[in-house]
Structure 1
Amino acid sequence: MPAAALLLSLTACSGTAASNNSKPVVLTTFTVLADMAENVAGDHLQVESITKAGAEIHGYEPTPGDIRKASGADLILDNGMNLEAWFEQFTAGLDVPRVTVSDGIDPVDIAEDAYKGLPNPHAWMSPLNAQVYVDNMAEAFAELDPDNAEAFRSNAEGYKQELQAVQDELVTELGTLPEHQRALVTCEGAFSYLARDAGLRERYIWAVNAEQQATPQQIAAAIEFVRANRVPAVFCESTVSDAPMQQVVGATGAAFGGVLYVDSLSEEDGPVPTYLDLIRHDTRIIISALTGTGAQ
């Protein structure tokens, strides 16, 4: 059933999310954005995520419940940059304002594979870019709820200070490395923005998630790069198998630096229940492994 027809059938027999709640409802496409938005919104807005903790965002398939939830929202936030391949169809039948929170980011293009030339969507993985997201949210919330505009902007400024502290730690600690060892080698190319803003060269086994991952040629290229630059440690993301990277480890003697988180927060009792937890975790894993102060 087309999204618009499904939306009509759902809203005809159900109330909206806002009808049961006096606060304006902000809906985000994934958990990272929801957590950022909650920090900016404070107690003034109700923030919810379409996808749940641990969900794969790129190819997500919205449910009828998602469309029903979206129809009752007062504002929808998306990442943009082609991250949510399903989003345009999802919102086609909705009369709800939407804001793309990556607006204003200087994009890094994907360098290879089928998506070559398109912007890498993982802009939130840089603490500097995350501050742009936060500013965009504060302005969107101020328009949605003008009475609390100053509170949103104040919350945003405090949150940005915490993000800047993460950025400063990353740059300072990695500045002690020899130039040739300032490299971030991961399974997927999800760290282009973090690498750029931290003064690291980026290398990965595959550019974006795909059904066919880690060809022999890709693994061989990663091995050659790690050997040539004497990269001390390599990493892999939590949502994919680290088996290809373990081949790089075995062939080069580099340490496996640890698991990095990108697309989703964990549950409350997990390792990265908030975005600040996620970016601090990744930053500290990268620093400790590359500088040799705690490689796993």
Structure 2
Amino acid sequence: MANLRKTVCALAASALVLSACGGPAGGTDDKRPVVLTTFTVLADIASNVAGDKLRVESITKPGAEIHGYEPTPDDIKKAAKADLILDNGLNLEAWFARFVKESDAPHKVVSEGVQPIAIGEDAYQGKPNPHAWMSPKNVGIYVDNMVKAFSELSSGDAAVFKANGDAYKAKLQGVQDEMTNALSALPKNERALVTCEGAFSYLARDTGLTERYIWAVNAEQQATPQQITRAIGFVKENKVPAVFCESTVSDAPMRQVVSATGAAFGGVLFVDSLSGPEGPVPTYLDLIRHDSKTIVAALTGAKP
């Protein structure tokens, strides 16, 4: 059983999806400082910056919904033993303030310095859209914040963190260029991105897409008849060829839009969580590439 557990942890590490596999609450011979992130996307980005100098873990597991997450007793134990906690901020982790009260570990808001886009409607109107990581440009800011926090945590490895961060930002720029070039080829009438949650404001800004959604932010109560009717009206008026939904929520409301408009269901997009190592988006860079290709293929009618 012990060998199996080590194997599973090694596979998770190799895929950079470092979740609660042998967490700090349990016994381990790994003496590296522990960096605990709130969700898998942050864990993957942090792992690229940390390299092998820090042990990076995620509170939530692949596929989990982050907005309304309820921390478990094991999560509290992990936080108590962490050396640094990273959160996204921008009101994403509504549960986080209560969570960190149980830990003496310092914490860093990795979105610090990002220019937020305000949510334009519903109960969250005027508040910052929390999904800043959907812009690779913004993730470059996340990386700089991580480099600084990691260097304070382990000053002897500061040069390694800086080099890792620079190398990862070069990869981010490559993905940004791929995404922008692919989406810029869309005709004007196809440059509309209709999704379940309003999680793509930053991606839409970077790529010149018009964003529409059924609800602004994932919550316990979502997809009211009025919201669905509004989405149907937009799709019909603009002859939007395809619509999408995110992996962590039910696509049933968007299927109603499909039925009422004749638009195609373009596919599942990933935002709040990575997949497992064998899934389609085991890393953040895979997530952005997957979403970009899915959007372009569906809006143009091409095969993915």
Identity value in percent: 68
1:17 shift after superposition? 7.0
Per the alignment, residue 216 of structure 1 pairs with 225
SS in 2 for 1:194: helix
| SS of alignment partner, residue 205 of structure 1 | strand
Worse overlay, 19-28 or 33-42: 19-28
Match 1:64 to one of 73, 78, 82: 73
CA distance in 1, matches of 2:60, 2:185: 39
1:279, 1:249 → 2: CA distance? Answer: 24
What is aligned with 2:113? 104
Aligned to 1:5: none
TM normalised by structure 1 equals 0.90
Indicate the RMSD between aligned Cα atoms, in angstroms: 1.8
Q: Is 1:172–2:209 an aligned residue pair? A: no
Structure 1 segment 186-225 matched on structure 2, within 5 A = 186-225=195-234
1:263 aligns with 2:272: yes
Matches of 1:18 and 1:83, distance apart in 2: 31
Tell me: CA distance 1:239–1:19, structure 2 relative to 1, closer, same or farther (3 Å).
closer
Within-5 A mapping of 1:136-151:
136-151=145-160
Task: Look up the equivalent residue of 2:176 and give its one-letter code.
Answer: Q
Q: 1:178, CA displacement in angstroms?
A: 2.4
16, 28, 49: which one aligns with 2:58 = 49
**Where does structure 1 lack aligned partners over 5 or more consecutive residues?**
1-14
CA-to-aligned-CA distance 1:75-102 (integer Å, 9 cap, x gap): 1100011111111111124221110000
* Structure 2 CA distance for aligned equivalents of residues 110 and 25 of structure 1: 34
Alignment equivalent of 2:290, drawn from 281, 284, 292: 281
Q: Counterpart of 1:232?
A: 241
How much has 1:68 moved relative to structure 2?
A: 1.4
Whether the 8 Å contact between 2:79 and 2:102 is mirrored in structure 1 is: no
Alignment match, 2:37: 28
Task: Find the aligned partners of 2:225 and 2:72 in 1 and give their Cα distance.
Answer: 37
Query: Aligned residue pairs: how many?
Result: 281
Q: For 1:63 and 1:220, how far apart are their aligned partners in 2? A: 38
Runs of at least 5 residues in structure 2 that lack an aligned partner in the other structure: 1-23
Equivalent residue, structure 1, for 2:91? 82
Mean Cα deviation higher: 211-220 or 113-122: 211-220
- Secondary structure of the residue aligned to 1:114 is helix
Secondary structure at the counterpart of residue 95 of structure 1: coil
